[in-house]
Amino acid sequence: DTGVSQDPRHKITKRGQNVTFRCDPISEHNRLYWYRQTLGQGPEFLTYFQNEAQLEKSRLLSDRFSAERPKGSFSTLEIQRTEQGDSAMYLCASSRTSGGAYNEQFFGPGTRLTVL
Amino acid sequence: DQQVKQNSPSLSVQEGRISILNCDYTNSMFDYFLWYKKYPAEGPTFLISISSIKDKNEDGRFTVFLNKSAKHLSLHIVPSQPGDSAVYFCAALLVDSGNTPLVFGKGTRLSVIA
């Protein structure tokens, strides 16, 4: 399967614990995005990388959230001291980059986080 | 403030009839618009898109119409099939600014009744 993969698919944790999610993009894609989707909402942008550089972070990304893409391939999203409001589907997407044209973002299946 | 709005949370249509899903946006800088389809427990999958220089794009049973002056786009599905039942998200971005992240609406749940 050459699509975007995410691990784990489901995570249940207690409030205050740290969690880490992984995303493996399509191999030739140099751009990687993280989005969050809560109940009744569309996906909301969190952050994105071009290769290993983190280019933009949304105001939704509080200090408890950190994302990395150390070698420009897979990425991790860590949430420290989880809160019940962090319960959501965390979606990863990847795309190529070519100037002046739209580059389709391909989404992974998501990681559903439940904070008890 | 929501830059992309889908004001109908749900829509029910009979099989074989037309489904029309609507979307409004507020940011006149958006230059590319997309529709994504999402099934439960899966990520969104791309359906159809349109550049701001066009007013219509067609792909099989799916047609997207763009009215820039009204800042409105719509997705038409003809004929509707039970397998089209899913949540549909409208999204927009700025391609000319280097493919900014997607801005999504809240989605419309389409139910196609056999």
Q: Which residues in chain A are contacts of B101 at CB distance < 8 A? A: 33, 35, 45, 48, 56, 58
Nearest CA distance, B100 vs chain A (angstrom): 10
In this predicted structure, what is the pLDDT of residue B25? 97
B42-49 contacts, C-beta under 8 A, 24 or more apart: B42/A109, B42/A110, B43/A4, B43/A91, B43/A93, B43/A107, B43/A108, B43/A109, B43/A110, B44/A43, B44/A91, B44/A107, B44/B89, B45/A107, B46/A104, B46/A105, B46/A106, B47/B75, B47/B88, B48/B75, B49/A102
Which is higher by pLDDT, B95 or B6? B6
Strand partners, B41: none
Q: Which residues in chain A are contacts of B46 at CB distance < 8 A? A: 104-106
Measure the CA–CA gap between B83 and B37, rounded to whole angstroms: 11
C-alpha angle A53-A59-A61 in degrees, rounded to nearest 5: 65
Cβ proximity of B61 and B35 under 8 Å: no
As a whole-number percent, the residues of chain A with pLDDT over 70 amount to 97
Nearest CA distance, A109 vs chain B (angstrom): 4
Q: Each residue of A30-55: pLDDT tens digit?
A: 999 999 999 999 999 999 999 999 99
In this predicted structure, what is the pLDDT of residue B95? 85
User: What DSSP state is assigned to residue B81?
Assistant: -
Cβ proximity of A111 and A93 under 8 Å: no
Q: Which residues in chain A are contacts of B4 at CB distance < 8 A? A: 42
Out of B9, B42, B102, closest to residue A105 by CB: B102
Contact A33 B101 (CB under 8 A): yes
In this predicted structure, what is the pLDDT of residue A99? 66
